[in-house]
Amino acid sequence: MLDDRKFRVLYAIIDSYISSAEPIGSRTISKYYDLGVSPATIRNEMSDLEELGFLNKTHTSSGRVPSDKAYRLYVDTLVQSKVSAIDKKWKQEIQGVLSKESKELDQLIQNAGRLLSKITNYTSLAISPQLSETKIRHIQLLPIDDYQVLLIIVNESGVIKNTVFKMNRTIPEHQLTEISNILNEKLKNKTFQAINRDLAIGIYNEFSKYKEDLEGLLPFIGKSVNNIESTDLYTDGLTQLLNYPEYRDIEKAKSIISAIEDKDQLIEILQKGMFSSGIDVMIGEENIYEPLRECSIITTTYKFNGETIGRIGIIGPTRMDYAKLIATLKVFSDNISEVINNYNLTDKG
């Protein structure tokens, strides 16, 4: 698609623009990048690259700025070697912070987000663990008083969900225990998704003995299960964005910050790429959500038992050091997944 020299010119421009945020002229390239040709030649190449859609000018006599298409090419052709270089100091800090006991899974992800923002100097995004694919390990009903029952669900990753609900009649304790036992037997090791499906088609009506009670209870269980599947979005380091010249302009800053505050949209975006394993990079125009058309989002997955259960990443102007950030995210991905899986080392019973 591009001959070698064009390629190198384009790389040079991207590299330079990433660190300076200023349009790049031919002279700068010839001076600081060893391409062995004069500015005039570079000008010719630049002109071609512009025609091909890889470069833009801010005005007729300005230097060039990489387009989204250029970043795309840059990211797609990033060589592994370049990506792997991440500061050892950071690597250790990541391991340190993450392995520190954060009792709840949610909290682990939040901590990871905070650290990610601090390390990268970008705003971090993360969606809470998606547990619909994990299995139930324990389910229990407990009476709180005559009309209230507590439902507890523990899944294999150790996450607990509970709800109190009000009944319109009293179910004696021993009966609740019995129902618990039956439920436990029936639901154990099923995924939330499976349960939801089964509930929908009324598969549990077989407990004829407690039919009436169950009719009252099952909707609550369904609701609880559904609730577990609900997704939160964690963000951190919003102010980081304001350090970039791209957001000197208050209107621009406002637009991106409100976009980030619009959590539902972001959740949708992150979930969409949910199962594209590993790093996902969305550059500028590639974002379907209008207010993010001038941003890039880089995310990675975190896993439990080999299954992807969430994404974490960063957002910022399209001009970002993709190589370094991708490397950093890889480290995060590995470490988070490792910590999650270690949560339950003793849990095979």
Partner DNA sequence: GGTTAGCACTCGAGGGGTTTGAGTGCTAAC
Partner DNA sequence: GTTAGCACTCAAACCCCTCGAGTGCTAACC
CA 31 to chain centre: 40
Which residues between 256 and 295 bind a second copy (CB under 8 A)?
257-258, 261
CB distance 156 to 138 below 8 Å: no
CB distance 64 to 55 below 8 Å: yes
CB distance 175 to 160 below 8 Å: no
Min dist CB 75 to DNA, Å, is: 24
Using CB distances below 5 to 8 A depending on partner kind, what does residue 261 bind out of a second copy, DNA, none? Answer: a second copy
- The stretch near DNA (CB under 7 A) out of 37-45, 110-118, 164-172, 293-301 is 37-45
Residues near a second copy (CB under 8 A), total: 37
> Residue 12, interface with DNA (CB under 7 A)?
no
> Residue 56, interface with DNA (CB under 7 A)?
no
> Residue 38, interface with DNA (CB under 7 A)?
yes
> Residue 27, interface with DNA (CB under 7 A)?
yes
Helix ranges restricted to H, the chain: 4-20, 26-32, 39-51, 68-76, 80-83, 88-99, 105-120, 173-187, 192-200, 211-228, 238-241, 250-261, 263-272, 322-343
Using CB distances below 5 to 8 A depending on partner kind, what does residue 212 bind out of DNA, a second copy, none? Answer: none
Q: What are phi and psi of 178, to 5 degrees?
A: -60, -45
> Residue 118, interface with a second copy (CB under 8 A)?
no
302: left (phi over 0), alpha (psi -120 to 50) or beta: beta
Among 40, 144, 203, 288, binds a second copy (CB under 8 A): 144
3-state secondary structure of 143: strand
CB distance 93 to 110 below 8 Å: no
- The stretch near DNA (CB under 7 A) out of 34-42, 157-165, 268-276, 278-286 is 34-42
> Residue 66, interface with DNA (CB under 7 A)?
no
348 to each of 170, 193, 293, 336, 342, how far by Cα in Å?
A: 36, 22, 46, 20, 12
Using CB distances below 5 to 8 A depending on partner kind, what does residue 150 bind out of DNA, a second copy, none? Answer: a second copy
Min dist CB 61 to DNA, Å, is: 3
Closest to a second copy by CB, 137 or 311 = 137
What x-and-dash track marks residues 147-176 binding a second copy by CB under 8 A?
xx-x-x-x---x-x-xxx-x----------
Q: What is the rounded distance in angstroms from the CA atom of residue 324 to the CA atom of residue 120?
A: 9
CA 84 to chain centre: 20
> Residue 47, interface with DNA (CB under 7 A)?
yes
Interacting residue ranges for a second copy, rule: CB under 8 A:
103, 137-138, 140, 142, 144-148, 150, 152, 154, 158, 160, 162-164, 166, 227, 236-239, 242-243, 247-248, 250, 253-254, 257-258, 261, 346-347, 349
